[in-house]
Amino acid sequence: METVLLLGVLAAAGAGALLWARRQQAARAAAAEQDFRQVRALAESDVLAFGEGLGRLDLVGSHDEAVAQDYQRALDCYDRARAALDAARGSADLAGVSSALEEGRYSLACAQARVAGTALPERRPPCFFDARHGPSTAEVAWAPPGGQQRSVPVCAADATRMADGVEPAWRPVPTRGGTAPPWSAGPAYGPFFGGSYAAYSGLLPGLLMGTMLGSSLGWGGYGSGYDSGYADGQDAAGDSGDVGDAGGGDFGGGDFGDFGGF
């Protein structure tokens, strides 16, 4: 009798443990899905904004072949970003979106410079505080709250703000705990944030050392990865002729309207 009771208790305990494990698994899956939806919405807004930027470039009367090539590269990058967004099924899949957008923003900046008759921008990592600001123009000393100082690539506007003692215009991103800067967001933002630096080998760990996002990705204390990574990234990125070779098609369909082309 005691044996039967003991077996019954063990069976009930086992069933309870299995139920608890399944509930925990379901809760984790639901949280991961919520995180993915938040990051995907951010990625989608970036794709839309980039498409709108392409549409605003006035090419009427321009017969410069170099402008056409830069613009086509930007279009190709848009196609890549949109395809990666459509195919994404988890946060890890969104790195391809931000990587394509980083290349596309540089190509668009080159086309804009040619149309305006100004010097071409240098191929540099995007602004650390908001990749939508475009290629960086300088490195500025910065430290996360409670962290060690490091050099980060910043756009001209943020460099001016920081020189004046003003906080840079960092991008607020939604998290389960409210809005936060990217480096304080959860690990779900790691692939999307990191994709912007995919062409700059070894750069990102040094930038994120000592931040919440860096810690969630396994990068603990601040190291010396920035300087060497930036040098490697310059070689990996190449010049404007290496940008946006993948992708194709015109810029017509989809939800973003028909921006035309060459």
* Cα dihedral sign, 96-97-98-103: positive
Helices (H), 117-255: 156-163, 190-195, 203-208, 212-216, 225-237
Query: For every one of its 262 residues, what pLDDT tens digit does the chain have, with 9 covering 90 and above?
Result: 666 565 565 566 666 676 667 777 776 666 777 889 999 999 999 999 999 999 998 877 667 899 999 999 999 999 999 999 999 999 999 999 999 999 999 999 999 999 999 999 999 999 999 999 989 999 999 998 888 899 999 999 999 999 999 999 999 998 888 888 988 888 899 999 999 999 998 888 888 887 878 877 776 543 333 333 333 333 333 343 343 333 333 333 333 333 333 3
Mind listing the pLDDT tens digit for each residue in 194-253? 999 999 988 888 888 878 788 777 765 433 333 333 333 333 333 433 433 333 333 333
Q: What angle do CA 237, 239, 247 make, to 5 degrees?
A: 75
State the Cα–Cα distance between residues 253 and 230, nearest whole angstrom: 37
Residue 168 to residue 199: CA distance in whole angstroms: 24
Can you give the pLDDT at residue 24? 72
Can you give the pLDDT at residue 227?
35
Q: How many CB atoms lie within 10 A of CB 52?
A: 12
Confidence at residue 61, expressed as pLDDT on a 0 to 100 scale: 66
